[in-house]
Structure 1
């Protein structure tokens, strides 16, 4: 028992002793003297001390052996039995000291007559207070358990969200640097195709900035983006790489993690060689609730060590969203990855729509994400465009193609800025409110 707990118990004993001492002195003591008042108080303190300490240690012992939460039934049964036994023994001990030792009554009549009735009354009073004492302990343990569970769930949710954000934030530099490597190779091989690649790259990167903050996107959206991405790959590899899309229309309405196809297609290109005589065949299809990406295995030798971002990123993001697994199949002839198609659009975030305070937090978080998206877009523009200008002026200064991506991406960046800082949701809400007010005044 710690110091604070001891003080609380002592304070309770004193108040109970004072109240019961005054009660018995006023109604059950014939000689109203100071000495009898002191005796009444001391006897009441004896009862309070014995019952409170006895029940406290009984409760502590049971709590150390059986949990109110994990062993509820056992704890209740043993609590009832031990409470009856302990309190009956304590009542008989205190009553014997009070009635026989202090008041000098006949021990032979301890269980009969008025003393027997007094024993029965005190036993019931002791059991009543003991039941209240144990119920209080049960409620305290339950509250502690509930608070602990809430805190644990919040920590789990925060940890999952933080982990998910970390995984998603890997995608920006990963795609950007890989795309720049492709562009660099393409400039040497075919400058004309480099122009087409650069113009389309700005549109694709804008899509990535928009989708990376989502936990799930529809299969249809992901397929549309994958088709655009494969068109860019075709500009570089021409007939060395073929793509086949065969996804069920019903599956296209369901969901996958964003940019999963792009990462898997990128892995196919990265880890396999492709030539006109030995083309790389990549097939995207759906079967039994999975989206499958399969390619014939033409493993590229002397490949640089993988960063591990692509496939592991997809596996970890799915692990945070669902219990369904990502499957990887490999044989001598082919390599296949199967990612789950999710029917419901689940979320790792906590549901806070019931509370206005949490709704305000969500709006603030959404606003921060919008600002992060815009500044990420702006920083990428400031990094990529100067690089493209340098590449263009260094390789083909007679034809300044860098204007096209600079203007195209610039227009997209400007519209993004207007959406974030200009015509926002607040402006829409104000306009809706004005229209409603005008309608109400008509």
Structure 2
């Protein structure tokens, strides 16, 4: 037991002992006060600490965040059985052992059923409070943990995305310089034209590489310019066909994806005037396809594999839609998803915090309302019981408000803690994934 809980139970025991000693003890003596204190300590520590231990044990074995419905059912059954046993034992020790009012047979004959039943209700209220408190603490802990995890995921994804984009600049420059080096020896005039075109294209690379997505239209225009650059070197050995639907032009793809795929087509296939390489760029069913006839060349050295892998990884950070590759004996095709909207990795953190805050705020209001109802019940009902016993001890009318209001408190607790319906905020990550956050 924690030190704070131990001190609280001591104060509760002392307060209860003083209350019963002052108002319900005829002979005011240190012996009777000591007896009241012992009885109060017994009730406080056996019922209070017992319910606390049960709650702690269930929190470890059946956390609210992992098995809400199962935990709720187990809690109800456990606290009912445990409190009935504890109350009967405490009342037995108080009435039979300490006060010696009746024998064991008389105690279990049914004469004290009302006292036992009343005490069990008080114990159940205490236990309900402890379990509700545990539920709220678990909710706050889980919400905080999920928000932190989402922050880390978003920061990691953003860092990874930046790293991938930074590959594009040296990758393009390195390959372009290799082409230029070849042209200088083969055709100096073409090398001069290539240099002029390359400066224009490289400007686009610098402008677009920091963006997460660009329009299909911008990417197609750039690809056509890049194809002209390739035609400068390969002339009739390479042909290009573009057939992208007009409605797809305003949608989005990852930047420089076409350039990387066009470059791969040239890099991995041979092209001659007698056997030209035909590269097609077209759209179908929300997919942008880049297809070439397969004329595989022998590689002198192993490819670094940056191009296609870079595209696949960037798409995986932005959407659940996958990049598909088709290969047959005659052709090689890459299918890029065309996206309808622009997701933003950085905004994931803000959206996660906002959603989590809204849910937490709503949850706090619901739980505060339940606690207010429960505390009011715990204060008013004992007062009505005492009032009834003082004014009209032969007619127990307090049963009706106790039962009616008690059923209302139970129904309120069921609605707040969603027993049987599942925890609305069981896992924040599942909600975020459902609404396409974080990807």
* TM-score normalised to structure 2 length: 0.76
Q: Superposition pairs for residues 352-371 of structure 1, below 5 Å?
A: none
Indicate yes or no: 2:73 matched with 1:77. yes
Alignment of 1:381-420 (within 5 A): none
Whole-angstrom CA distance in 2 between matches of 1:355 and 1:144 = 16
Q: Does 1:252 align with 2:249?
A: yes
Q: Quick check: 1:67 aligned with 2:94?
A: no
Q: Which moved more, 1:62-71 or 1:49-58?
A: 62-71
1:14 and 2:10 matched: yes
Corresponding position: 1:173 with 2:166: no
Matches within 5 A, 1:14-93: 14-93=10-89
Shift of 1:226: 0.5
Q: Please name the residue that 2:332 is paired with.
A: 335
Residue of structure 1 equivalent to 2:230? 233
Secondary structure in 1 matching 2:320: coil
Residues in 2 aligned to 1:191 and 1:109: alpha-carbon distance in whole angstroms: 116
Which secondary structure does the structure 1 equivalent of 2:2 belong to? helix
**1:304 counterpart residue number:** 301
Q: Where does structure 2 lack aligned partners over 5 or more consecutive residues?
A: 355-439
Post-superposition shift, 1:27?
1.1
SS where residue 347 of structure 2 aligns? Answer: coil
Q: Which residue of 1 aligns with 2:95?
A: 99
Change (3 A) 1:321 1:356: closer
The whole-number CA distance in structure 2 between the counterparts of 1:72 and 1:11 is: 31
Q: Give the conservation status (yes or no) of the 8 Å contact 2:219–2:255.
A: yes
Report the counterpart of residue 345 of structure 1 in structure 2: 342
1:302–1:208 CA distance, 2 compared to 1 (3 A): closer
Q: How far 1:195 moved relative to its partner? A: 2.1
CA distance in structure 2 between the aligned counterparts of 1:26 and 1:79, rounded to whole angstroms: 37
Whole-angstrom distance in 2 between the partners of 1:163 and 1:111: 71
Change (3 A) 1:310 1:113: closer
Contact 1:296 1:333 survives alignment (8 Å): yes
Structure 2: distance between partners of 1:256 and 1:34? 85
The residue matched to 1:250 in structure 2 has which SS?
helix
Contact conserved, 2:231 with 2:238, CA < 8 A, in 1?
A: yes
Cα offset, 1:196, TM superposition: 2.1
Matched ranges for 1:129-208 at <5 A: 129-208=126-205
Contact in 1 for aligned 2:147/2:353 (Cα 8 Å): no
**TM-superposed deviation, 1:181:** 1.0
Q: Is the 8 A contact 1:111 1:119 kept in 2?
A: no
**Number of matched residues?**
353
Instruction: Quote the RMSD (CA, aligned, Å).
Output: 2.2
Q: What is the CA distance between 1:101 and its match in structure 2?
A: 0.9
**1:356 to partner: Cα distance:** 12
Render the CA deviation track for 1:285-339: whole Å, top value 9, x for unaligned: 1112111111111111143211010011111111122222212122222211111
Deviates more, 1:154-163 or 1:61-70: 61-70
The answer to whether the 8 Å contact 2:154/2:349 transfers is no
When residues 330 and 352 of structure 1 are mapped into structure 2, their CA distance, relative to the original with a 3 A threshold, is closer
- State how far apart, in whole Å, the 2-side matches of 1:356 and 1:153 are: 9
In 1, the alpha carbon distance for the partners of 2:351 and 2:285 equals: 36
Shift in alpha-carbon separation, 1:356–1:335, aligned structure 2, 3 A: closer
